[in-house]
Amino acid sequence: MAVCTLDGGEHVIGDADEGFSVQSITKILALGLALNRFGDEVWTRVGKEPSGTPFNHLSQLEAEAGVPRNPFINAGALAITDQLLTTVKDPAALVRGFAGFLAGQPVEIDEAVAASELATAHQNRAIANLMRGKGTITHDPEAVVAAYCRQCALSMSCRQLARAFLPLAAGGFSPVIQETIFPDRLTRRLNALLLTCGIYDSVGSFAYRVGLPAKSGVGGGIVAVVPGKAVIAVWSPELDRFGTSVVGTAALEAFAQLTNCSVL
């Protein structure tokens, strides 16, 4: 667990410097890059609503004309990757570079994890092909899925994650690199999406227990934002049935109660 505060403080416990596969947490970085590049055009391809279904669900996507409910379910993330492919050949490398830039040190993609995920990405291929058929994505579905799998295989530690996401707690400004990354208005909107969509179909219970904007990944990591104060990153591999870290959620709940930092 790592807590990074806006004044430069870093407080860690456990394996806070051990790298792990951050998986869907990278979706925040990809969305931020897309919004900085394309602005509100992003929202012509993806919605802003909670899905209420598993993150790799197909039936809702088909019923809603191939437009994903939000950017944090797999369909939404694939749509964002497709948009990034219009400006760069390797969106995963772009996300990796952005993550390292924000963390203040290089981070790497675990290519073995990426290859393993691509070999079994049948559901994501089905999602991408459905969206290609509906016109939501414009590139070859296999290329989109391959780029997405590499992005999710990014390896970072809790300390690096907490540093990288400090702009979301600081109105878009990074205390690590002393630069403004996002406009304040965009930062507020990203936090709103994290609060309503960041923990998939358990977002309600997470908000009830923790009360912070957050994003989880099936690698066992969770990043939570305390606007105006800090970012907390936790990692523990055991997952609940929704794909969110069991111990990580409990740790964030305890932290929020002890510090009274919930935004709700």
Q: What is the mean pLDDT of residues 41-45?
A: 96
Residue 40, pLDDT above cutoff 70:
yes
CA within 13 Å, CB half, 170: 24
pLDDT(52) > 80: no
Residue 65, Cβ density class (10 Å: 0-12 exposed, 13-18 middle, ≥19 buried) = exposed
- Region 56-62: what's the mean pLDDT? 82
Short-list 190, 256, 252, 246, CA closest to 218? 246
Give the integer Cα–Cα distance in Å for 17 and 45: 36
Superfamily holding 2-259: DD-peptidase/beta-lactamase superfamily (3.40.710.10)
**Overall average pLDDT of the 29-55 stretch:** 91
What average pLDDT does range 134-162 have in this prediction? 98
**pLDDT confidence tier of residue 55, bands split at 50, 70 and 90:** low
pLDDT of residue 54: 65
- Which pTM was predicted? 0.95
Residue 51: the pLDDT is 81
